[in-house]
Amino acid sequence: MSTPVKNTPILVQKYGGTSVATVDQIRLVAKRVAAQRRQGKAVVVVVSAMGKTTDELVALSRELSSQPARREMDMLLHAGEIISASLLAIALEEEGVSAVSLTGSQAGMITDETHMQARIEQVEGERILHHLTRGRVVVITGFQGVSRRNEITTLGRGGSDTSAVAFAVGIGARQCEILTDVDGVYTADPRIVENPLKLSWCSYDEMLEMASLGAKVLHSRSVEIARKFGIELIVSSSAQEAPGTLVCSSEKGRKEFGEMEEVLIRGVAHNADVAKVALLGVPDEPGIAGRVFDVLGAHSVNILLIVQAESHEGHNDISFLVSSEMLSQIQGDLDALSGKIGARKVIGDQGVGTVSVVGEGVQRESGIAGRMFKALAEEGINIDLISTSNLMISCVVAEEFLEKAVQAVHREFLE
């Protein structure tokens, strides 16, 4: 992919809501962006809404309706980024840098019409490039787009990361910087593990796995788009200049940072916000599992993990995890289904969590699983379910032991 702004490197930066929460912070971001611009770079900045703006707008809507129309929520929420983007453009002009703010619609973010969870169809980068070639910093509202019928859409909470990467693709940039309130991707959540390590890099796949297993650094869709189009992500702090974490292909990372065959644990992820569903004594017949997950699909339930053990006297136990809030929504359907397929019992359990190690090749390296299970056992923590892939080993444990489990596993592999 070539750079269409002739001879000028393009920098795409995304600033999250905590980085633009106040006028003073917006001014600091403007100074930082202005410095980059003065170095001759063409700069595109994607912003989230200021601080808690989105939450506040949601709260207003909830005062009026318990189930506001999704279309209207998109209309409402997209105001938040309009405010932060225009204020940042004003702050940039004050720094002596020519700037222009664009709504998602003006910037060419074309989506489908799935309100509050729109999928990006295309980024038409012409208008951004038009301004860049005239030396202007382009400030774009994150999180939002427009459908082909000119309906305002949003990409779902946290969607500004996704916006930023999509704009990078749309204008032919190679990298996208995600500037936030942490200075990189860490080996564990610092609220639980005392001194986690900052990663110099991790692969797209590792990042996606960590995100799906509970890490909250990057919006998964942003990483998927970055992987698909080969955009390198840099996660770093909006408050400091310290180097952050590079998220890139395994090839690039290993080449640049010198790992070859060695399997590395990239981090320990955890998720307390899950519930376990166990369908016990399901007849071991073809098509049964499919029917179970059809029911869940109809609710757009995101399944976090599925485990089916060996069948026993013609019956299976099928267990899976869903987000805690989903459990109550699907409980009724599961009970009905359980009768239909002749399961002996259905159990829903909110009191569980997952602890996972993530790293390319962890499953292949048999020693890792054993060390993880042993570390948990030494703390007296019982493992309820186990699931593995080439990228992760994940254990379901009782929620009350989750923090202890994360600490034990982190100690085993990363301290």
Instruction: Give the residues lining the site for a second copy (CB under 8 A).
Output: 23, 26-27, 30, 57, 60-61, 63-65, 68-69, 71-73, 75-76, 78-80, 82-83, 85-87, 89-91, 93-94, 100-101, 103, 106, 150, 152
Q: Which is nearer to a second copy, 153 or 203 (CB)?
A: 153
Give the phi and the psi of residue 109 in degrees, each rounded to 5.
-85, 95
Q: Which is nearer to a second copy, 35 or 197 (CB)?
A: 35
Q: Where are the alpha helices (DSSP H) in 4-153?
A: 23-38, 53-64, 70-94, 126-133
Polymer length in residues for the chain: 415
Q: Which is nearer to a second copy, 28 or 307 (CB)?
A: 28
Q: Which is nearer to a second copy, 25 or 356 (CB)?
A: 25
Rounded Cα gap, residues 415 and 407, in angstroms: 10
What is the closest distance, in whole angstroms, from the C-beta atom of residue 136 to a second copy in the complex? Answer: 11
Rounded Cα gap, residues 17 and 26, in angstroms: 10
Strands (E), 62-193: 99-102, 109-111, 120-123, 137-141, 144-147, 152-154, 175-180
Q: Which is nearer to a second copy, 69 or 347 (CB)?
A: 69
Burial of 65 (0-12, 13-18, 19+ CB in 10 A): exposed
Rounded Cα gap, residues 385 and 289, in angstroms: 18
What is the closest distance, in whole angstroms, from the C-beta atom of residue 54 to a second copy in the complex? Answer: 12
Burial of 367 (0-12, 13-18, 19+ CB in 10 A): exposed
Q: Residues with Cβ < 8 Å from 300, sequence gap 6 or more? A: none
What is the closest distance, in whole angstroms, from the C-beta atom of residue 47 to a second copy in the complex? Answer: 12
Give the phi and the psi of residue 177 in degrees, each rounded to 5.
-95, 130
Q: Which is nearer to a second copy, 34 or 226 (CB)?
A: 34
What is the closest distance, in whole angstroms, from the C-beta atom of residue 75 to a second copy in the complex? Answer: 4
Q: With residue 236 as reference, give the H or E element that holds it.
A: strand 232-237
What is the closest distance, in whole angstroms, from the C-beta atom of residue 137 to a second copy in the complex? Answer: 12
Q: Which is nearer to a second copy, 106 or 117 (CB)?
A: 106
What is the closest distance, in whole angstroms, from the C-beta atom of residue 78 to a second copy in the complex? Answer: 7
Q: Which is nearer to a second copy, 25 or 222 (CB)?
A: 25
What is the closest distance, in whole angstroms, from the C-beta atom of residue 88 to a second copy in the complex? Answer: 9
Is residue 176 within 8 A of residue 232, CB to CB? The reply is: yes
CB atoms within 10 A of CB 3: 14
What is the closest distance, in whole angstroms, from the C-beta atom of residue 151 to a second copy in the complex? Answer: 8
